[in-house]
Amino acid sequence: MRRALGLLGLCVLVGGCRSLQVPVGALVPPEEAMWRASPPLVVRWRRDVEAAPVRALVAGRILLVTNHKGDVHAFELPEGRRRGVLDVGRDLMGVPAHRKSLLVVPVALDDAAVVAYDLYRRRTVWRRTGDGVEAGLTLDGEVVYVAERWGRVYALNVEDGRERWVQEPEATGLEGVRARPVRVGELLVVADKRGRVVALEARTGRLRWRRQLRPVYADLAVADGLVLVPTTRGRLVALEAASGEKVWTLALPDTSVHLTTPVMAGSTVYVAGGDGVVRALTLRTGTVRWTWTGGAAIVAPPVVDTTAGVLYVGDLHGRLVALELTSGRLRWETRLEGGVLELIGSPFGLIALTRPRHVYLLQSDHEPVASRP
């Protein structure tokens, strides 16, 4: 088992000669929102990221987009000015983590399972070898939690990559982890592609509880002491985080539906799926409040905008809509070029990753659209 930690203190670029050029101060978060959230939205710009985009992360004024080729593309917000490309590995699938000037990236196919890169100094700070990480990273203060593809889970110091603890799959039963772990209270909850869900003590890694559900590929979510587990078999399961006891289950008649990561607003949970349906549920009971049916599969988790009172949803046909949070009524829609793979809200606008290789920034004003191939 490969656990070797390589500390690279000087200017060594990851996997190639390209790098990111992030201006000093650009990673500081804006003090307040820079955009008006109410629809209708317009496309401010579109950029090419050279391969199918996977995840996006906003760090201050910098938008970082990963792709399946193994690159991280950087853009300065809100203008969309390019700030370079970093070659990290052969495939990037999980969402990175960011602390201060450090970008920590999970790598699915390479010798390095996790790479930490200083965005200001433009150098690799540390890297950890392993069996590949498909899941996103979970950052909590000075600790980053990692779940490798074949079930090894560990906690690292984010600044230097030193190991705090490691839990082997022989102890947890995990195998094939795709979903990003979640930190809830004193626990770290991890799920795998076979439906195993385990809770580990975040400080020590000791196993606290284990449950068997349906296969889990989408990231977990946490709200009000509950862990919400979306499955690929038309089930959304709410577990008590402290004990792992099942609180409620949304069970669809069609067991082939893959559900997205749920999102929350107040006492309501919103989840979409491969059947093109968006569902709003009561958080504590799982009772369905309303549904909205689109025309194509939805793989991107919706984005809640409580100020505008809408839920943004994008589907694989490129349709982007805003639904009323309380009723599901369609308020606005537009069409993007390519299916929507990921949506994230930011202080600068709504960010959409689309097939085959683009990222969009949409804002709520009516200035001329700027699009660049």
Q: What is the distance between the alpha carbons of residues 308 and 304, in angstroms, rounded to a whole number?
A: 9
In this prediction, residue 33 carries a pLDDT of 60
Q: Cβ atoms within 10 A of the Cβ of 248, count?
A: 17
Domains 1-22+67-133 and 260-362 alike in fold: no
User: Given this model, what pLDDT does residue 15 score?
Assistant: 40
* pLDDT score at 21: 87
Q: What is the CATH number of domain 137-249?
A: 2.40.128.630
Report which residue type is found at 321.
Answer: V
Q: What is the pLDDT of residue 7?
A: 37
| pLDDT averages per 10-residue partition of the chain, 373 residues | 39 52 90 72 96 96 96 96 93 95 94 94 95 96 97 98 97 96 97 97 98 97 97 97 98 97 97 98 98 97 95 98 98 97 95 98 67 42
**pLDDT score of 370:** 42
User: Comparing C-alpha atoms, which of 212, 216, 210, 264 is closest to residue 236?
Assistant: 216
Contact 326, 302 (CB under 8 A): no
CATH top-level class of 1-22+67-133: mainly beta
- Measure CA 251 to chain center: 24
Cα Rg, the chain, nearest whole Å: 20
174 within 8 A of 166, measured Cβ to Cβ: no
In the chain, what are the domain boundaries? 1-22+67-133, 137-249, 260-362
| In this structure, CATH architecture of domain 260-362 | Beta Barrel (2.40)
Residue 158 to residue 162: CA distance in whole angstroms: 8
Residue type, position 101, single letter = S
Evaluate whether 222 touches 264 at the Cβ level (below 8 Å): no
Cβ contact 70:53 at 8 Å: no
Taking every pair of C-alpha atoms in the chain, what is the biggest distance, in angstroms? 57
